[in-house]
Structure 1
Amino acid sequence: MSWRTKVVWSEGMLLQPQHLQQSERHADHARHVLLRSTTPYAWGFAELEIDQAALTLGKLALVRAVGIFGDGTVFDMPAVDPLPEPIDIPSSMRDEAVVLALPLRRAGAREADAEDYEELVRHRVLESEVPDSNTAGERTAMLQLGQLHTRLMRAGEATDAWTTMGVARVVERRTDNQVQLDRGMLPPLLDVAGHAVIRAWLDELLGLLRQRGEALAGRMTQGGTGGVAEIADFMLLQAVNRNEAIFAHLAKSAMLHPQHFFEHALGLAGDLSSFRDSRRVARFGPYVHDDLALSFRPVMDDLRRSLSMVFEQSAIRIELHDRKHGVRVAMVTDVELQRKATFVLAVNANMPSEALRARFPTQVKIGPVERIRDLVNLALPGVTLTPMPVAPRQIPFHTGANYFELETRNSDLWRQLEQSGGIAMHIAGDFPGLDLAFWAIRS
């Protein structure tokens, strides 16, 4: 016979306590199967509060605990069920978990005990006068009620006869009797709000997303290059905006299961990985309900790196100002930019692209402002322009434009720019509709 089989009720049957007990077991089992089948990881703490004062006395005790055991047993301490007795922490105990334990329901075993509190009995029996809630007056009846018989015990002491959930991990008991707990240990939870650490992670992610979104939006409103880098910024802003809305919703939810939070955190990590050098998401471990720190910490570390990357525009447009006699001047005050960036001149004119590509480098002089007159009048060579086969991906592409790279390496003229007032360009010859754009691309 199954210990959880449904009772067949019939008229005239002699009602025995076993009928009600069997019916209760069947109902409990059906509820547990339904919950387990429709809700993954439907066990853990909804609320958990440890007695901080007891820790100073070398003990671990609970102030409040609400949740569901792995076998489906619901508990609410101390509102419905009594709190377990505090556990003494010996000085020899180090790096060991303490669990909340409840005896498992076993076929044929006694489940309630009124007197000697046998260790493996699930319920303690107490008598209480209960009023009739459907009848007027003060009619009461003395009932025997069962309260869960839970214990706090060391994880190593729990056998297969118990269903357990981790409460805390003891680091050590110091010489002053103060019990030091591992603040990074997270018990199994039904709600993110049930533990300050994991709730802080949710708030941190939402804050980082908002900060990154504001920074990206600010860059977009400034007007950008229109190149691939700006498109990447726009796509990143799109991912940030989408996830910010999702995590804002999660933060306001009445209840948020850690697995649901973990799934969205993984999705965010995957979205952001596309914008990192590796272009691929890191390999994270699976969700482990009874070791949430093991699951969440690698993901949180990865998200912090992705959301805290330093912003730096890879392409900077440098304004060219017209001067007399066909001279244009650009100011570059950043010495590091002069030394390390690649400088590109985009040239467009109303003439065949091949002719522009061949003629322009021979009819332009580039050098420090102070030396441009000598370079032109004495026909001295300036900074060399080298045609580029394609437009650099960091800057916008324009049909018909030619792109030239300034040869800044090993150029005495270019080194003189560090003490110069700017870069000067003198363009000889006739280039109808000439349009220039000067760019510095960070390495």
Structure 2
Amino acid sequence: MKHPGIFWSQGLFLRPHHLQASDRHRDELLFETLAARLEGCYGLQRIELEGSALDAQQFGVTRLRALLRDGSLVDLSGGAPGRCDLKDLPRSEPIRIAIGAAQRRDDLPAVARTSTDIAARFVARRIEVRDESTGSDPQQLDFRELNLRWFLPGQPRDGFETLDVAQLRWNVDRGQWQIDLGWLPTALSIDAWRGLGWRDAEGIGDLLENRAETIAQRIASKRIAIGSSGQDLEFSRLMDAINDALGESRSYRSPARPHPETLYAALCRTVGRLALFHPDVRMPRDVPAYDHDHPEPVFRWLRERIDASLAQDYEDPYQIRPFVGEGGDLFLRLDRRWLDADHTLLFAYRMTRLPGKDLKWEWGLLKPRLSSPDLIRTVSEQHIVAAERSLVSVDPRPTFLPRDLTCFRFDKGHEYFSPVRDSGGIGMRLRGLEGLAAVRDGESVVRWPIDGRQVEAEFFAVAYPNPKGS
């Protein structure tokens, strides 16, 4: 150790040197213990800017707490060193402002009576204290505090322990200095960055929440379950990854702000989770290492990577639209693009499965009559052009379609499909369920009893682009 412990022994003649050396040993021991547990054990912990100072072309704080590299504690609450003047500084480039004090030296006085002696590490303060046992007997005692001062660009820092706390840029339009929101100081807590206007932790959490809500709505609307496959399985896995990242975001958005390295690890895990769903890169190999002294480029990279991952358009490879009840029958409007030659159009249904019953039995039970909405509404049964005759099997069945859907493909070139193509909509009458099922207006689920059990069915039009070259 640079400052070994005093050898206390009986008969020792106590001098101030002993107590000073003991203080230095204790300070070094505490700081080295902290450094052994945490690599970045110095930096800004908290800062609150004095709002009116920049308007007067000055810089000041109402609260600042930090640890310097040598372990010295900086704790300001609106006292010294006051404000620093920015009027004469060049405005073409950003400027950094640091706070610091003289380094320890054995060959110079360490304590001065006034703060104007900048070479002194400490300044003396006389404070009245009371006997804490009795609460009385006030006495004037001399204390020493770090002789802190601001450091501006161009001022020498040799012989001083300093810490950059803010970066300013000149705003030409407003004619004043402003905090550079893109710069991050060396910090012990991300709360210090928040005091300088940094909101990326909250921003990432909000992005995760918004994306989770969007995907949750899609999963609910499509009834995606654990056993889903294809694209639906991808949505489930993506939702799982975002939920993990969202849960972890609670820690760095809580009032107890973590150390930047803790945030770095959390965001790296988020990048890794989302990389599984990136179209180009499955495993990010260019993740920057944590840099306590230069955190800005590291956290900028993480934010940009997460933004890009969450901004991806996770569109389904297919579109699905339900039939809705109206006047005892079911109807839907088609997207006109679905009728083009470059799209496949399906009729699909989801139904409660009954033991021992196959597809042929289901179709015979439902007996769906499909045609244009107008024909279903107005034309007698025997004169309806039966568009269901244009249905053919889906072979091969695309893997991205939900497995619980029974699907048939419309042959859009078939003569019986023409009423649907001309009207741009489909109407459906469930002939096999007449008198059994109640088709409620505005609802898409049809229910009816079979053998004392409630059966449900939903009906859909499903469309997806044809593969290129097909």
Tell me the TM-score range normalised by the shorter chain. 0.7 to 0.9
1:312 corresponds, among 315, 321, 344, to 315
Query: In the TM superposition, what is the alpha-carbon distance from 1:22 to its structure 2 partner?
Result: 1.0
1:159 corresponds, among 146, 157, 169, to 157
TM-score by length of 2: 0.70
Q: Which residue of 1 aligns with 2:267?
A: 265
2:41 is paired with a residue whose SS is coil
Query: In the TM superposition, what is the alpha-carbon distance from 1:422 to its structure 2 partner?
Result: 4.6
Q: Which residue of 2 aligns with 1:219?
A: 218
Report if aligned partners of 2:58, 2:83 keep a CA contact under 8 Å in 1: no
TM-score by length of 1: 0.74
How many Å separate the matches in 1 of 2:186 and 2:409? 59
Query: In the TM superposition, what is the alpha-carbon distance from 1:172 to its structure 2 partner?
Result: 2.8
1:127 is paired with a residue whose SS is strand
Query: In the TM superposition, what is the alpha-carbon distance from 1:318 to its structure 2 partner?
Result: 6.0
1:300 aligns with 2:303: yes
Name stretches of at least 5 consecutive residues in structure 1 with no aligned partner: 322-328, 351-365, 371-381, 426-436
Count residues in correspondence.
Answer: 407
Q: Which residue of 2 aligns with 1:353?
A: none
How many Å separate the matches in 1 of 2:38 and 2:127? 35
1:157 is paired with a residue whose SS is coil
Q: Which residue of 1 aligns with 2:254?
A: 252
Report if aligned partners of 1:91, 1:172 keep a CA contact under 8 Å in 2: no
How many Å separate the matches in 2 of 1:441 and 1:175? 53
Q: Which amino acid aligns with 2:316?
A: Q
1:187 corresponds, among 154, 170, 185, to 185
Query: In the TM superposition, what is the alpha-carbon distance from 1:320 to its structure 2 partner?
Result: 8.8
1:215 is paired with a residue whose SS is helix
Matches within 5 A, 1:69-108: 69-78=68-77, 82-84=80-82, 86-93=84-91, 94-108=93-107
How many Å separate the matches in 2 of 1:206 and 1:320? 37
CA RMSD of aligned residues (A): 4.5
1:252 is paired with a residue whose SS is coil
Report if aligned partners of 2:47, 2:195 keep a CA contact under 8 Å in 1: no
Compared with structure 1, are the counterparts of its residues 187 and 75 closer, same or farther at alpha carbon in structure 2 (3 Å cutoff)? Answer: same
Report if aligned partners of 2:126, 2:140 keep a CA contact under 8 Å in 1: no
Q: Which residue of 2 aligns with 1:119?
A: 118
Compared with structure 1, are the counterparts of its residues 88 and 208 closer, same or farther at alpha carbon in structure 2 (3 Å cutoff)? Answer: closer
Query: In the TM superposition, what is the alpha-carbon distance from 1:76 to its structure 2 partner?
Result: 0.9
Compared with structure 1, are the counterparts of its residues 204 and 183 closer, same or farther at alpha carbon in structure 2 (3 Å cutoff)? Answer: closer
Report if aligned partners of 2:335, 2:424 keep a CA contact under 8 Å in 1: no
How many Å separate the matches in 2 of 1:385 and 1:223? 24
1:289 corresponds, among 263, 271, 292, to 292
How many Å separate the matches in 2 of 1:66 and 1:287? 23
Report if aligned partners of 1:42, 1:190 keep a CA contact under 8 Å in 2: yes
1:222 is paired with a residue whose SS is helix
Report if aligned partners of 2:53, 2:83 keep a CA contact under 8 Å in 1: no
Which whole-Å deviations, capped at 9, do the CAs of 1:343-363 have from their partners, x for residues lacking one?
46799967xxxxxxxxxxxxx
Query: In the TM superposition, what is the alpha-carbon distance from 1:65 to its structure 2 partner?
Result: 0.9
Matches within 5 A, 1:255-404: 255-282=257-284, 283-310=286-313, 312-317=315-320, 333-339=334-340, 341-343=343-345, 388=395, 391-397=397-403
Compared with structure 1, are the counterparts of its residues 108 and 388 closer, same or farther at alpha carbon in structure 2 (3 Å cutoff)? Answer: farther
How many Å separate the matches in 2 of 1:180 and 1:116? 28
